[in-house]
Amino acid sequence: MRGKELIIALSISLGIAVAILSLPDILEPIAHKILLVLGIYWPLAIFIIGIVHGLKPDEHTWPITVSYGIMQRNMKGAIVSTSVFAGALTLVWASLSALTGQLLSFFQNYNLDPIVDVIVGLTMIGVALIFIIKGKDKVVDKDNNPDYKLIWIHGLAAAFGGDFIVILLLTIALSTLISVNVTFLIGLLFGIGSWIAQSIVVLLIYKGLVKGVKANFQILAKAGRLSLLFLGIFMIGLGILSSLTG
């Protein structure tokens, strides 16, 4: 069965890598247009922007949550793992959007994308190796879910990716329209929108793999661990390449 696991993992990793590399950075211009169109309906605008973010493949959306999702025994587990990761993102974004301009100058003056890519890649490799070394299906049992703790930590690290500057820019843009006491809603709504979009993508891929590949849980779980490892290596390479060419 090792051949089947490897093929699934390589297929997932390659497809995700191609998606990440082929899609340009579209979130910021789209966010600007949506905000201009909806104007006073800014909560709806932020929510829609979050959905766009969740659909856009990068180092903190469905390319990561898919790998975690297919490690789970069922679709409920896939949703829980996605929620843990996206929930960590949402917590960080909501907290930091409340700080608005205090961090803006730092993120504008330094290109953190390559550093974040490397950190996220190392985190992914570390998590994948823990799963592979343990090699026990009990990590996803109902009463023993240490993988969720690791997914949560990974989500916290990934929250500082390139799209975080978009949240800060949105916060600054809206700071003249709303009270500073509710700026946390910007990161919160953005995160919830991204959360929902990622959950839909993960469910569709999980269901498609189960039906299309006709693989049992053990095969999908091992394939998910391998794909996480491969994608971690890819993210480190992407970060190093970005730093050298930037």
Q: What is the pLDDT of residues 167-202, one digit of tens each?
A: 888 888 887 788 878 888 999 999 999 999 999 999
Domain segments of the chain: what residues?
A: 1-22+38-243
pTM: 0.78
Task: Give dist(CA 51, CA 143) in Å, integer.
Answer: 32
Instruction: Tell me the residue ranges of DSSP E strands in the chain.
Output: none
Which 3 state secondary structure label does DSSP give 143?
A: coil
Among the residue ranges 43-47, 53-57, 58-62, 141-145, the one predicted with the least confidence is 141-145
Alpha helices in 98-163 (DSSP H): 101-109, 113-134, 146-158
What b/e string do you get for 124-134 counting C-beta neighbours within 10 Å, with b at 16 or more? bbbbbeebeee
Whether the pLDDT of residue 137 is over 80: the answer is no
- Report pLDDT for 101: 52
Which 3 state secondary structure label does DSSP give 135?
A: coil
Among 224, 189, 178, CA closest to 89: 189
Q: What is the pLDDT of residues 14-56, one digit of tens each?
A: 888 887 777 667 788 888 889 888 878 999 999 999 999 898 8
CA 156 to chain centre: 10
- Report pLDDT for 191: 93
Residue with tokens 């082929």: 22
Please provide residue 171's backbone torsions phi and psi, each rounded to the nearest 5 degrees.
-65, -45
Task: Give dist(CA 5, CA 236) in Å, integer.
Answer: 23
- Report pLDDT for 188: 93
